[in-house]
Structure 1
Amino acid sequence: MRKSSDRILTSHAGSLPRPDELIEANRLRESGKADEQTFQKALTQGVADVVRRQVAAGIDVPGDGEYGKSMGSKVNYRAWWSYSFQRLGGLKVAGLGLYDFPVRRSSPGNVVLSSFGDRRDRLRFATAYSDPESGITTGPRATDWPVCVGPLTYTGQAAIAADIAHFKAALAANGVSEGFMTSIGPASCSRIGNDYYKSDDEFVFACADAMREEYKAIIDAGLILQIDDPAIAENFDQINPEPTAEDYRKFTTPKIEALNHALRGLPKDRIRFHLCWGSWHGPHTTDIPMRDIVGLMLKIEAGAYSFEAGNVRHEHEWSVWKDTKLPDDRLILPGVVSHATNVVEHPELVAERIGRFAKLVGRDRVIASTDCGLGGRVHRDIAWAKLETLAQGAAIASKQLW
């Protein structure tokens, strides 16, 4: 994994806006009106273009934009997660919507996840969440979600092989030596119905065993693997009533252990982990503080950690690194531009944010990044402007730090 040895390098969190042609190809394939060959043709061109645009914008470590993760509309906050439904065996589509799973209540020492609709932030701001003019949206709601009904297996070999082939060809065409590809983490993967495994912990380990095959495929291809597992932080909002920080850490520890189980034996310096509190444009007043989970994050066997640090709910948490020791062999990718606003950050502000982290953990261990994926969350023109200002801010910070 590259380090910022002579300047601040740039990357991002994964998802980038899809071109209309790819969105339409996805929509037609999902409706059975187009074959796989038509989709793959659109995907090949889309990945080639998105890597070229990242390089032109000044991104040093590009991704494939998560283009192989099906997204049939311009606004979509869950493609990073729902793609796994097509790559796992043992699932059955049920007539349940995302918000229809049973409401479960926690108690001290007995923390359980409730339904998506029972999130504390959603309950507190129910009027805003139900108002179509409030700006809180995640795109079209799915009416059917999967339930695990048998042994979980990985069936996405052809899909991940195609994703890797498209991306490597695009990297080579643009002379890029290092790129990253995202894959869902076990804790997030397991946030579906379970009618087979005896416990939530058993289910999350089953997800770890299944998804390990995808992790290995990405690393074996010579790419950087990024684990997307927002459930590590985001679950806190989906527990009702609010648990203590200690109870939440106990609840989350088996999920960290499952992820490390999936990563066992894989080269740590080829893995980065993305932490976030959920990318929807809501108030986020019930997010768990970074200070309460940073220790859990650092237990993950990854060489770098990506996290939200640019949006107004979490920007102040740069100060956590004043008294948190970053292990000597690790890097950080703080978000210095945000998915949560249409305002394009000024390059001077981006440089200021980078400088805070560089002074605390060392300039060579900071890679400038985004809070979360930009694709499906802000307009494509705004997303690309944010990547450009990210690179401009990194250039300013580099002059200040070297």
Structure 2
Amino acid sequence: MTQILTTHAGSLPRSPELIEANAARPVGEDGLTPEPTDEFRRVLRQAVADVVAKQEQIGISIPNDGEYGHLMGSAVNYGSWWSYIFDRVNGLELTGADIFSTEPVRSEPGNVRLTTFPDRRDWTIFAEAYQDPTSGITVGSQPNFPAATGAIAYSETGRQLVQQDITNFRSALDASGYDSGFLAALSPGSGSRIVDDHYGDEDSFLDAWVEVMRPEYEAIAAAGLTVQIDDPSIAENWDQVNPEPSVEDYVAFTRKRVDAVNRALVNVPTEQTRFHLCWGSWHGPHTTDIEFRHIAGLLLEIDAKFYSFEAANVRHEHEWTVWENTELPEGKVIVPGIVSHATNVVEHPELVAQRIERFARLVGPERVIASTDCGLGGRIHPQIAWAKLESLVAGAEIASGRL
């Protein structure tokens, strides 16, 4: 019998103690980096140990640290996967003009440019629903995004923080009997979506983010852990281009971001790399998401062994059929979302098994790891998040027996 392994996309619910300890840290002079305290470090270390132990108790095959080092100051937070990096990079400054407050940008054929977040096509089509607090749409609280006002570089603080993540996680893995796991890190393309007030050239700014992120990837890999590159921008950017571009123009625009990931990973073994793609984790209609068939080829151009992508929510579940006509290269593994972050309904283990079997029959059961669509932490209630992971494990057991 082939045992279907289980994992998740990264973010797990933070404990109240960790959220409180983070919120209590005094903010540094730059306004971006809260000062660490011995008490905060103690709470963080214990929280990582607890969340890894809980994954082992449930039966998750490939754990992480819950992204607890990507700090959240509130229980609801959709953006810590991105905003954590601001504490780790020199050259950033809070200027008052961020991705939510700048003026909308219009693209033209052959010239794809990202507009502002409020100008997203899905957000404007459903403006009435997005502005209605009773609609059920949530985008999470938004941090104050900095701008690049000088040359950016991975800071000494960044090196200390990633080593803190590694040390805490390694200790927790040993205590829970795991051999290894993964740590998530931002992609260069996603990093480059903040306001650039220094480089003045999109390609130069993207190149700078390649150099920024490389030390973090290499530090994680050097510790014997798998690096997960979080890059929803590969798919999500489509909705942030106004008016809608041609697929050809968008693919050309996106291929630069794929190349940036590969250049940043140049010194990381492919076997220690997985890539996470999603269409954005906010709870909204998502009617303007690009179809997976248009970007599946781009996904496979990324130099990773494992490819994580949304496949469980109602906007994208039907796209499992992409793998009928897309050849998965030798030695590669898909990590499809089997339970979703976008609903409070806990998937039945039988549905989980059926979803897993669809992929297993197309690419082989040994090349499928069952996962979540996106991170669960900060997006659904902790009790529901853990119930979903329990169902994921139960469904994988059913599928393993049948396959």
What CA distance in whole angstroms lies between the structure 2 residues aligned with 1:35 and 1:312? Answer: 41
1:134 aligns with 2:135: yes
Unaligned runs of 5+ in 1: none
Q: Contact conserved, 1:308 with 1:314, CA < 8 A, in 2?
A: yes
Query: What residue number does 1:78 align with?
Result: 79
How far apart are residue 150 of structure 1 and its match?
A: 1.5
How far apart are residue 102 of structure 1 and its match?
A: 2.3
Question: TM-score normalised to the size of structure 2?
Answer: 0.96
Query: What residue number does 2:31 align with?
Result: none
How far apart are residue 315 of structure 1 and its match?
A: 0.2
Query: What residue number does 1:177 align with?
Result: 179
What CA distance in whole angstroms lies between the structure 1 residues aligned with 2:362 and 2:188? Answer: 31
Query: What residue number does 1:16 align with?
Result: 12
Mapping of 1:118-133 within 5 angstroms?
118-133=119-134
Name the SS for the 2:24 alignment partner. helix
1:153 aligns with 2:148: no
What CA distance in whole angstroms lies between the structure 2 residues aligned with 1:172 and 1:161? Answer: 16
148-157 or 282-291: which moved more? 148-157
Q: Contact conserved, 2:79 with 2:142, CA < 8 A, in 1?
A: no
Query: What residue number does 1:233 align with?
Result: 235
Question: TM-score normalised to the size of structure 1?
Answer: 0.97
Mapping of 1:247-286 within 5 angstroms?
247-286=249-288
What CA distance in whole angstroms lies between the structure 2 residues aligned with 1:157 and 1:69? Answer: 14
Aligned CA-pair RMSD? 1.2
Q: Which amino acid aligns with 2:92?
A: L
How far apart are residue 140 of structure 1 and its match?
A: 2.6
What CA distance in whole angstroms lies between the structure 1 residues aligned with 2:56 and 2:159? Answer: 28
1:302 aligns with 2:304: yes
268-277 or 126-135: which moved more? 126-135
Q: Which amino acid aligns with 2:21?
A: A
Q: Which amino acid aligns with 2:352?
A: V
What CA distance in whole angstroms lies between the structure 1 residues aligned with 2:26 and 2:127? Answer: 32
Q: Contact conserved, 1:73 with 1:139, CA < 8 A, in 2?
A: no
CA offsets, 1:137-165, max 9 Å, x none?
233333x3211111111010010000110
Q: Contact conserved, 2:334 with 2:369, CA < 8 A, in 1?
A: yes
How far apart are residue 246 of structure 1 and its match?
A: 0.8
Query: What residue number does 1:27 align with?
Result: 23
Q: Contact conserved, 1:77 with 1:377, CA < 8 A, in 2?
A: yes
Q: Which amino acid aligns with 1:115?
A: T
Query: What residue number does 1:353 align with?
Result: 355
Q: Contact conserved, 2:98 with 2:194, CA < 8 A, in 1?
A: no
CA offsets, 1:338-397, max 9 Å, x none?
000000000000000000000101110000000000000000000000000000000000
Q: Contact conserved, 1:321 with 1:360, CA < 8 A, in 2?
A: yes
What CA distance in whole angstroms lies between the structure 2 residues aligned with 1:123 and 1:309? Answer: 25
Unaligned runs of 5+ in 2: 29-33
CA offsets, 1:43-97, max 9 Å, x none?
0010000001011111010010000111000000000000001101111111135
How far apart are residue 31 of structure 1 and its match?
A: 4.8
Query: What residue number does 1:69 align with?
Result: 70
Name the SS for the 1:23 alignment partner. helix
- 208 and 30 in structure 1: CA distance in 2 versus 1, 3 angstrom threshold: farther
CA offsets, 1:5-61, max 9 Å, x none?
830000000000000000011111155797422211110010000001011111010
How far apart are residue 198 of structure 1 and its match?
A: 3.2
Name the SS for the 1:322 alignment partner. helix
What CA distance in whole angstroms lies between the structure 1 residues aligned with 2:91 and 2:248? Answer: 34
CA offsets, 1:215-270, max 9 Å, x none?
00000001011000110110000000001111100111111111111011320010
What CA distance in whole angstroms lies between the structure 2 residues aligned with 1:140 and 1:297? Answer: 29
Query: What residue number does 1:110 align with?
Result: 111
What CA distance in whole angstroms lies between the structure 2 residues aligned with 1:93 and 1:382? Answer: 36
What CA distance in whole angstroms lies between the structure 1 residues aligned with 2:369 and 2:256? Answer: 29
> Percent sequence identity over matched residues?
57
Query: What residue number does 2:364 align with?
Result: 362
Q: Contact conserved, 1:269 with 1:302, CA < 8 A, in 2?
A: yes
- 363 and 100 in structure 1: CA distance in 2 versus 1, 3 angstrom threshold: same
What CA distance in whole angstroms lies between the structure 2 residues aligned with 1:246 and 1:348? Answer: 39
What CA distance in whole angstroms lies between the structure 2 residues aligned with 1:35 and 1:259? Answer: 30
What CA distance in whole angstroms lies between the structure 2 residues aligned with 1:334 and 1:253? Answer: 22
1:324 aligns with 2:326: yes
1:89 aligns with 2:90: yes
What CA distance in whole angstroms lies between the structure 1 residues aligned with 2:390 and 2:206? Answer: 38
What CA distance in whole angstroms lies between the structure 2 residues aligned with 1:37 and 1:86? Answer: 18
Name the SS for the 1:69 alignment partner. coil
What CA distance in whole angstroms lies between the structure 2 residues aligned with 1:340 and 1:84? Answer: 25
Q: Which amino acid aligns with 1:105?
A: R
1:289 aligns with 2:291: yes
What CA distance in whole angstroms lies between the structure 2 residues aligned with 1:239 and 1:359? Answer: 36
35-44 or 73-82: which moved more? 35-44
What CA distance in whole angstroms lies between the structure 2 residues aligned with 1:207 and 1:41? Answer: 31
